[in-house]
Every structure is written in structure tokens, then in C-alpha cells.
Amino acid sequence: METMLEMKCISKTFPGVKALDDVAFIAKRGEIHGLVGENGAGKSTLMKILAGACLSDTGSIKIEGELIKDISPHHMIKKGVAVIYQELMLSPHMTVAENIFLGAFPLTTIGLIDYELMKKETIRVCGQLGLDLAPEAVVKDLSVAKRQMVEIAKALSRDAKIIVLDEPTAVLGESELKIMFGVVRKLAKEGVTFIYISHRLKEVFELVDTVTIMKDGRIVITGNIKEFDMGKMIKYMVGREMSNIYPKRDSRIGKVVLNVKGITRKGSFKDINFSLHEGEILAISGLAGSGRTEILRAIIGADPIDSGEIEAFGKTFTPKAPKDSIKRGLGIIPEDRKIAGLFMRQSILFNISITMFKDILKIGFIDLKREREKAASLIRDIRIKTDSPDKTVRDLSGGNQQKVILAKWLNAKCKILLVDEPTRGVDVGAKFEIYSLLGDLIKEGAAIIMVSSELPEVLGFSDRIIVMWQGNMMAELDSKRATEEQILQYATGMKRETATLEQTRNPV
């Protein structure tokens, strides 16, 4: 197989951090090359250097044997490099077509933007992805999953030779995932090289031909994916064996703390009924767009319900805003933590403290000493990796950002926590820590509703599972007895549970 990309002796130092240390990376033409490692291993920095978005201190890059001298974003695009970063790079108020061709608008013979050609090309590229999207649709009106697909379409429209996918599936459901994998395999057969960065190791094993594992800014090992199993890969990534990523929990289910009775929101979900018990983790599974996230938003008060009732700790209430639910002991870790969960430009201290002002007020003023003491205690207990509580949240890894949100709700003495994709964009070591922290909450009597696209997570870290399809509640399952295949049957509408969970536990 012909070498498409060769990066040699790549080193990069940021203030106080050696991000890359003499890295050599090679990818072949038509290869799907996995790049894995914990957050901070250097994967994204290496790819930013390839894209020209960040200059290396030392080293060289060759594409198809040609030494690249001008390593700038514009020139690397010309050389056929396209990078889809973990953070979406779309203009929300522009259309799908305008985003796909942003910076490369086709022109008519008289120099005007050729909107008709843009429309035709958008339909063609979206067709490659199996995506039925109107070219004139405004991006801000799309779901997170569909926005991600627009990013992929944008890369494909530029006939790239090397496409870097940095956590591309973090927001995709099962059906969208299959479509994307199909497109990647098809383009790889046509000679396009893919570099696939992901923390979702199951997908890495399913998709890639070759894998490179990084740790602490260095390449640990590169080899054919068939040479690895999950345990071996994790050991190389974290430097230790992890026999079970889901910590064992002693599930002691207590009294009912939340009752959802027949809630309906037009266009999102209808007639949803379930209860949540003290000490329980209830998972809500389903494909993207099935109504999972919308149910959490309704319970927390971010979206109004049209009918039905919500009862928390024996008292019925209709949340008109998140503050109504928060007052009753509810909290939420949202799907997109960077938009709805954190003040990204503020410090760790600020983000943790916003839920504890009542505890740190002293004669009408904030007790700054007490604020810092409480924050320092939480940072230590939750193991947030930082050298200072004054560090800006946007400078933290995904796992540590998630921990900051968790610290915020611990401060608020939250008793019912709604978590939407709790480990999205988080490396395997941080996943284990997040599971442990959520498990500790459960031990203290809290209750959790978890939405997740990862079926192993749904099965491995919950007590019960609700499966959604097109806004309908299709089944309620015991996680100890359920299987991935069974969940997918319900999630795709192939099957619907007629018996209650109690009946499935005790069949006649």
C-alpha cells in the first residue's frame, strides 16, 4: 500500500507542557487509521499540526512523497487535508449549502455566487452520506447529530485525500453511525485516507485497519487492528489494566423520588410514564431524535410539556423554567456541556460556586475564603486535574469539564441528577472516574436518569432501561437481562413491549 502521509520527528511544547515528543506517524493510501489515547495524549495536537492550525517546533510532513514547506491551513486544504474537529466549526445562522461551501463558494461567469450549483452539489454530497437534508435548511435549526453530518459533508465536498475525523461519532445515533461508516469505507476503497480519532473503542475495532496508540505526547505502538483486543488496547492507553470499566455497585433501590405521568410534548414525545427510585440509575436509550434528550429537558423545565404531570418527592409540579426543578433537588448534565452546562470563559471556581452562593454568603457578601475552601475540597474529592481553581474551564479536558459540572450539582445537594451522554468525548480513564463518581452519588441516596447512545454503557451502568422510538416509549427492561440486540429491536420500532417490567421479571 502506497504511503499517503508521513510525519517525522514532530515535537511541540506549550508553556509548561511537552505536548508532542519526537512523533513519527505514517498513514497509507486508502487506509482507515485509528488514532487513540487518553485526553492529553497528543492526538488532537498532532492533527492540528497536520492541518496547519498549529506549527510544530521540529519535524517534517510529506504528502504523497512531497515535502510540504508551506504548512498553513489554506495550503494544507489545497494539498487535500480536511480535518473535522471535535468542536463543530459551523456558522449557525447560515444554510446547510452555505456552510458546506464556506470559503469556497462556486461563482458564475459574471462573478456572482452560483447558488444553483451549490444546491445541486449539496444534494449530491448529502446523498453520499445517505442524509436527506434541505440545502436551504438553517444550521441552527438542526439537531446536534445532523450538524455533525454537515461537517462531514463539508469535508467530502472538497475532494480531500486525507480526512481526519476527530470524535465524529460522539453525537451520532446507531442509524447515522452505520451511514457514516459506510461512507468512510466506500471512500477508503476509492483511495481516500482516513485518520480516525475516537474514545469509543468498540467503533475503532469495527472500522479501522491500523491503529496507533499515543500516551503523554509519544507513540506507544502502531499495528494492525487484528493484533489488539480491548484489554490490550486500554493497557497501552492508560498504562495499566482495567478489568471492568463499570464499577460494581451495590444497588439498594429505595422509595420513589420521581414520578412522570403521561407527559406529552407535541413533536417530541407522547404519553411517557415511568418512576425513578432512590439509589437507582434509570437509562433512556434510543436513536438520535427518538425523544430521549427532550424528556430530560422537559423534566428539568427547559422545555414546556403540553400535558401530563411530574411529581418529585411526592409533590406534583409543572416546571416552567430550570430553576423550578432545581429548587426541588433536580440537576442536569446536558448533552452539550460547552453550550448549556458550563461558562467556558470563566474559571473552575466560578463554575463550581454558582450553585452555592447561599452557603458562602456572610452578612450579604460572598465569603471569598469559604468559597475557595469549598471549591478546593470538591476539586480534590472529585479529582479534577488542575493546578489552580482559577484556571479557565475551556482549557480543561472533556473529562475534567464533566467533573466540574458534577461538582456544581454536588454543591447544590442535588438528589435527582439527569445526565445526557455523561461520557461523550471522554477518554477511557476519565470514563471510569465519572462512573465511580456517579456511583458514589447513588450510594448517598441520589437517583440518576441517564441518556446514552453507547449501548455497553446503558447495559453496564444502569438498573433499568427505557427504550424510545419516534417519541414513543417502546419498552422498559431490566438491564441485567437485556441485550444490545433486544434494545436495538425496540429502538428501531421493530418490536414493542406490551408487558410491564414487573411482568417480564415474573413471567406467568
* pLDDT higher at 308 or 86: 308
The candidate with the shortest Cα–Cα distance to 199, out of 39, 26, 30, 417, is 39
Above pLDDT 70, what percent of the chain?
Answer: 91
Residue 171 has pLDDT above 70, yes or no: no
Mean pLDDT, the chain, integer: 86
Count of CB atoms situated within 10 Å of the CB of 69: 8
At 187 the pLDDT is 87
At 496 the pLDDT is 78
Considering only 248-257, 444-453, 467-476, which range has the smallest mean pLDDT?
A: 248-257
Considering only 17-26, 84-93, 438-447, which range has the smallest mean pLDDT?
A: 84-93
**87, 91, 97, 100 alpha-carbon torsion, rounded to 10°:** -40
Q: Stretch 278-283: mean pLDDT, rounded?
A: 95
Cell of 62: 510529506
- Compute the distance between CA of residue 88 and CA of residue 147 in angstroms, rounded to an integer: 8
At 37 the pLDDT is 87
Residue 504 has pLDDT above 80, yes or no: no
User: Do 165 and 106 form a contact (C-beta atoms < 8 A)?
Assistant: no
Residue 32 has pLDDT above 50, yes or no: yes
Q: Stretch 248-267: mean pLDDT, rounded?
A: 89
Q: Stretch 464-474: mean pLDDT, rounded?
A: 94
Q: According to the 3-state scheme, what is the secondary structure of 336-393?
A: CHHHHHCCCCCEHHHHHHCCCHHHHEECCEECHHHHHHHHHHHHHHHCCCCCCCCCEH
- CA angle 462/463/465 to nearest 5° reads 75
Which range has highest mean pLDDT (141-155, 164-178, 215-229)?
A: 215-229
* Cα atoms in the Cβ-side hemisphere of radius 13 Å centred on 238: 18
| Residues contacting 377, CB < 8 A, separation 6+ | none
At 507 the pLDDT is 38
Q: What is the pLDDT of residues 100-143, one digit of tens each?
A: 998 889 898 998 999 999 999 999 988 877 778 899 999 998 87
Q: According to the 3-state scheme, what is the secondary structure of 181-249?
A: HHHHHHHHHCCCEEEEECCCHHHHHHHCCEEEEEECCEEEEEEEHHHCCHHHHHHHHHCCCCCCCCCCC
* Cα atoms in the Cβ-side hemisphere of radius 13 Å centred on 251: 17
Considering only 3-12, 111-120, 141-150, 292-301, which range has the smallest mean pLDDT?
A: 141-150
Single-letter amino acid, residue 89:
M
Above pLDDT 90, what percent of the chain?
Answer: 45
* pLDDT higher at 212 or 366: 212
What distance lies between CA 374 and its chain's CA centroid? 29
Full set of structural domains in the chain with CATH: 3-243 (3.40.50.300), 255-344+414-492 (3.40.50.300)
Strand partners, 263: 272
- Compute the distance between CA of residue 177 and CA of residue 169 in angstroms, rounded to an integer: 7
Residue 285 has pLDDT above 70, yes or no: yes
